[in-house]
Amino acid sequence: MPLDKLSHPQQARAWFDNIPIQNQYTVGIAGEVFFRGLMDGKLLAAHCQECGRTFLPPTLYCGNCFSTSGEWREIVPHGVIDTFTVVHLDLEDNRLEQPELIALVRFEGCEGGLIHRLGEIDAAQVEVGMPVEVVFRPPQEREGSILDIAHVRPLTKS
Amino acid sequence: MAFRRTGLRRVAVVGAGMTKFVRRAQETAQELAFHASRLALDSCGLRIQDIGAVCLGTAPDAFDGVHMNGEYLSDGAGAYGKPFMRAYVGGGTGVFSVIQGWYHVASGLFDAVLVVCEEKMSSCLPHPQAAFLTIFDHTTERPLKPNLLWIFALEMNRYMQKYGLSKKDIARVAVKNKRNAMDHPAAQLAAEITVEDVLNSEVLAWPVQRLDVSPTSDGAVAVILASEDAAKRITDKPVWIKSVGWCLDSAYWTNRDLSYPEYVERAARMAYEMAGIKEPRKEIHIVEPYDPFDYKELHHLEGLLLAPKGEAPRLLAEGVFDRDGDLPATPSGGLLGVGNPIAAAGLMKVAELFWQLRGEAGKRQVPGNPRTGLAQAWGDLMQVGTVAILGV
């Protein structure tokens, strides 16, 4: 049928279906350590004994020299906002009543960083370079997920 | 056949490594890729800094459940900060990734290339086959709710009818390959079974039964390719890639001869011509044809011109394709025995030739110092043939 004969898209004969798959993701060898650490309220990073770099989130291998990351190090859960955004729409295109603050947080001595929600602060007050700290959910609510971190918030002075 | 014959550099395989093939790996896909890559580097004493480019193969993104899975895997494949490319021709990917690595080096662009193939099929629920439900034409075929087994059942039956073959003639492939896999330390489904076991196994889509089929698997394989100068510095025992070939048939399976893989013959002829091989049955000493189903190994041996049409089953029964036979086929144990993490399974066949031709295959070693081997994979919409010929 020539394209110019169609005056409305509904006139094109169509057929609907989907690709019916789900996926089950293992957290992996490094992930097992990292997520068990979160359940204990700890941030664990992988340290490469060959080139001395430390990775968060941790990987089994060093992204620099490709050795096996042989050592685990607990990181002080204090970081710095590298960049942030204020999200106004959800995935279904609904306008959020309370816009969501999302930040990339970097930690001293670590390669990488964490993407997470920023809480206990107004959007207008957020600044790049601001010191923040990780807030874990109460121990009984943790389930070995990245959401065991409730959010990050401005570092309290104490 | 029109392809360039001059100005290409010689390319060698200088290292190889693989993970175990398993039903469900705890490792992430990236971690599987890392293990294989690290083993391949260590096998020839190279560091990641010595690698100029990385070629990666992995089958549908749906298996790992990650769109852009090649890019997701790249860090685990040592590609961080390097030229990187993912090849994808479905089940043919494992051998095609070596072809891709070959032209990266043969062209003169790179002296050392890491080729990595990974598949993690266990993550795909309810079964990896679901990823294939949408390969069929969405208006002429999908309303009938076909699945992948339909293709194999129709193809196997056509092959049997055309040459008057019985299920028993074909089942011997499963028996041979699962037995060969008993000597493979990475094997998932090695077993001593009988033809009767195959014939008594659950019927899936006649004539395909449970033991005619390879398993779903998780695993990774890596090989390192090097230019002639680099290869001679790296190892005393380079295994040369003598030639490559690949070819695609029609996307419509209705338009193909289901009893004979014409596209495999064309891919093989390209590789034979490039390698100067005139009599494949005499000049190929060892073959690793793609064996996701037992009849496919026979199908492919014929397409590769290593058996007359319809006669691979007779040669099989005579023991020609046994590990100590005249033309050992799938001495590794293949997809039926070692396992079938799609892209990784094809690359495993190239790794097997590397070990066999260096005399390093251990209990799997084919006797008689084989000097030339052929690895073949098959895939896309059951329509691509990919071939690599290796030699010492």
How many other C-beta atoms lie within 10 A of the C-beta of residue B178? 25
Check if B201 contacts A (Cβ < 8 Å): no
Query: Three-class SS string for chain A?
Result: CCHHHCCCHHHCCCCCCCCCCEECCCCHHHHHHHHHHHHCCCEEEEECCCCCCEEECCCCECCCCCCECCEEEEECCEEEEEEEEEEEECCCCCEEEEEEEEEEEEECCCEECEEEEECCCCHHHCCCCCEEEEEECCHHHCCCCHHHEEEEEECCCC
Supply the pLDDT for residue B139: 82
Neighboring chain A residues of B15 at a CB cutoff of 8 Å:
none
Q: When comparing pLDDT for B328 and A63, which is higher?
A: B328
Over residues B89-101, mean pLDDT: 97
Supply the pLDDT for residue B309: 98
Among B41-50, B126-135, B154-163, the range scoring the smallest mean pLDDT is: B126-135
The whole domain housing A88 covers 28-154
Instruction: State the smallest CA–CA distance between residue A115 and chain B in angstroms.
Output: 17
Nearest residue in A to B75, CA atom: A63
pLDDT tens readout for residues B363-383: 999 999 999 999 999 998 889
Supply the pLDDT for residue B5: 73
Q: Establish if A13 belongs to a structural domain.
A: no
Check if B143 contacts A (Cβ < 8 Å): yes
Supply the pLDDT for residue A18: 81
Supply the pLDDT for residue A19: 80
Q: Which domains does chain B have, with CATH numbers?
A: 11-126+215-391 (3.40.47.10)
Query: Residue A120: which CATH number?
Result: 2.40.50.140
Supply the pLDDT for residue B60: 87
Neighboring chain B residues of A30 at a CB cutoff of 8 Å:
31
Q: Establish if A67 belongs to a structural domain.
A: yes
pLDDT averaged over every residue in chain B? 96
Contact B73, B29 (CB under 8 A): yes
Check if B67 contacts A (Cβ < 8 Å): no
Q: Establish if A150 belongs to a structural domain.
A: yes
Give the B window 363-392 contacts with A, CB below 8 Å. Answer: none
Nearest residue in B to A14, CA atom: B139
Q: Which percentage of chain B shows pLDDT scores above 70?
A: 100
Over residues B205-225, mean pLDDT: 97
Per-residue b or e along B125-142, where b marks 16 or more CB atoms closer than 10 Å to that residue's CB = eeebebbbbebbeeeeee
Q: When comparing pLDDT for B269 and B6, which is higher?
A: B269
Tell if the CB–CB gap between A21 and B123 is shorter than 8 Å: no
Check if B39 contacts A (Cβ < 8 Å): no
The answer on pLDDT for B353 being more than 80 is yes
- Calpha distance A69→B239 (Å, rounded): 32
> Is ipTM strictly over 0.95?
no
Tell if the CB–CB gap between B65 and A17 is shorter than 8 Å: no
pLDDT tens readout for residues B232-252: 999 999 999 999 999 999 988
Among A13-17, A27-31, B352-356, the range scoring the smallest mean pLDDT is: A13-17
Q: Which of A32, A60, A36 is nearest to A48 (CA)?
A: A60
Neighboring chain B residues of A22 at a CB cutoff of 8 Å:
124-126
Mutate to test the interface with A, among B24, B34, B147 (most CBs of A within 10 A): B34
The answer on pLDDT for A3 being more than 80 is no
Q: Which percentage of chain A shows pLDDT scores above 70?
A: 96
The answer on pLDDT for B283 being more than 90 is yes
pLDDT tens readout for residues B292-325: 999 999 999 999 999 999 999 999 999 999 999 9
Q: Establish if A82 belongs to a structural domain.
A: yes
What residues in chain A have their Cβ under 8 A from chain B's Cβ atoms? 15, 17, 19-32, 59-61, 63-66, 68
Q: Establish if A88 belongs to a structural domain.
A: yes
Supply the pLDDT for residue B284: 98
The answer on pLDDT for A158 being more than 70 is no
Neighboring chain A residues of B62 at a CB cutoff of 8 Å:
19, 21, 23
- Calpha distance B344→B36 (Å, rounded): 10
Contact B127, B147 (CB under 8 A): no
Q: Look at chain A and report how many structural domains it folds into.
A: 1
Neighboring chain A residues of B46 at a CB cutoff of 8 Å:
none
Check if B69 contacts A (Cβ < 8 Å): no
Q: Which percentage of chain B shows pLDDT scores above 90?
A: 87
The answer on pLDDT for B192 being more than 90 is yes
Over residues B7-35, mean pLDDT: 96
Supply the pLDDT for residue A63: 84
Nearest residue in B to A22, CA atom: B125
pLDDT tens readout for residues A66-112: 999 889 999 999 999 999 999 999 999 999 999 999 999 999 999 99
Contact B362, B232 (CB under 8 A): no
Q: Establish if A20 belongs to a structural domain.
A: no
Tell if the CB–CB gap between A29 and B28 is shorter than 8 Å: yes
Q: Establish if A11 belongs to a structural domain.
A: no
pLDDT tens readout for residues A127-137: 999 999 999 99
The answer on pLDDT for B231 being more than 60 is yes
